[in-house]
Amino acid sequence: VECLDLVLIGFGNVGRRFARLLAETSSRLERDCDLTWRIVGIATGRHGAVLDPAGIDVGQALRRTENGQRLDTLRHGGPPGDESGPALTPGLDLIRRLDALGGRSRHQVIVETTILDVRHGQPATDHVREALRTGRHVVTANKGPVAFAYAELRDLARSVGREFLFEGAVMDGVPVFNLVRETLPAAEVVGFRGIINSTTNHILTAMEEGREFDAALAEMQRAGIAEADASLDVDGWDAAAKAAALANVLMAGGVTPADVDRTGIARVTGADVRAAVAAGQRLRLIASARREEGRVRASVAPRLIPGTDLLAGLRGMQNGLVLETDVLGEVAIVQLGSGLAQTAYALLSDLVTVRRGL
């Protein structure tokens, strides 16, 4: 049995749900996947950080964070604030302190779940780069690194012989990247189209039923699904980042979110979506990509699709992706349930991939 030492960079909703899922599935991971784990570091945005090469008590870390207490005093490998030089972000700080603690003979995995600036892909991209540079495996639910710097980070990971995995970046735990890598060998993805942003799909389908744009958006914000900055969903930034990630990984697209031809749903009205339904169509925010004249062109835009299209049937927070392949035709993968548990599972499945590759 191989024991992985995990360092959690980010300990918000996703990070904490991941820690709980690890604890819940421990015996299954050991029995089926030959994998045990310890958490040796946690860096949070507002609750400090802790490092302990002997392993951190996960239950205590969860309770402290949820009670608004700091983690620094939980027990750690060095006093807080002992850094000299320019200020570091907590995540980079923790990754850089890891070396001083020893334990490098063990397999270390950085689990990156910080809040992402989707317009710049930071600080996640810096975290991933630093972790790989110093020889750690990386699993992340962040779409930023793969949307903004995929080729660089993939090559860096190869050069140090470490994994860089990001299944949770698109459609949570439903396999997309792993699907293509593991189950579609020798097939070329020549294009894709999908619904990959839950908030906008909820708004569009709620308006079909006569509800108001703002009320539907507010529901998603209350549920913690929509980004606090509504523009990230409504103006298509989140979908554009995911489209860039898909284009980069599945089609060697070499694009960033800024290269994605992007139109949001801010100007879509209830009358628009209901007129589509009346005409046997549906209005959906479709992310797509296609190779044109040697380049990959990706776009995100509200589009009229036939009511018989698989994507037309996806309602509320359901997501779906249709992959066009050369040798297998069209294959679609659909996420019918969505939430924190699914994102946490994506990290878990990536962790198992790290284990398999050892």
The residues binding its own copies (CB under 8 A) are 21, 25, 28-29, 32-33, 173-175, 178-179, 182-187, 308, 310, 312-315, 322, 327-339, 341-342, 345, 348-349, 352-353
DSSP element (H, E) containing 41: strand 35-43
Q: How far is the CB of 347 from its own copies (least distance, A)?
A: 12
Cite the DSSP H helix spans in 99-236: 124-133, 144-148, 150-160, 177-183, 198-208, 213-222, 230-234
Q: How far is the CB of 307 from its own copies (least distance, A)?
A: 9
Minimum CB distance to its own copies smaller for 17 or for 127: 17
The string over 160-198, giving b where at least 16 C-beta atoms fall within 10 Å of a residue's C-beta and e elsewhere, is eebbbbbbbbbbbbbbbbbbbeeebeeeebebbbbbbbb
Spatial CA neighbour of 98 closest among 162, 26, 39: 39
Catalytic residue among 202, 242, 262, 303: 242
Minimum CB distance to its own copies smaller for 95 or for 287: 287
Instruction: Tell me how many degrees the CA angle 225-226-232 measures, rounded to the nearest 5.
Output: 140
Minimum CB distance to its own copies smaller for 49 or for 347: 347
Q: How far is the CB of 285 from its own copies (least distance, A)?
A: 18
Residue 154 CB neighbours (<10 A)? 16
Minimum CB distance to its own copies smaller for 219 or for 309: 309
Cite the DSSP H helix spans in 99-191: 124-133, 144-148, 150-160, 177-183
Q: How far is the CB of 95 from its own copies (least distance, A)?
A: 26
Does residue 143 have an active-site annotation?
no
Active site residues: 242
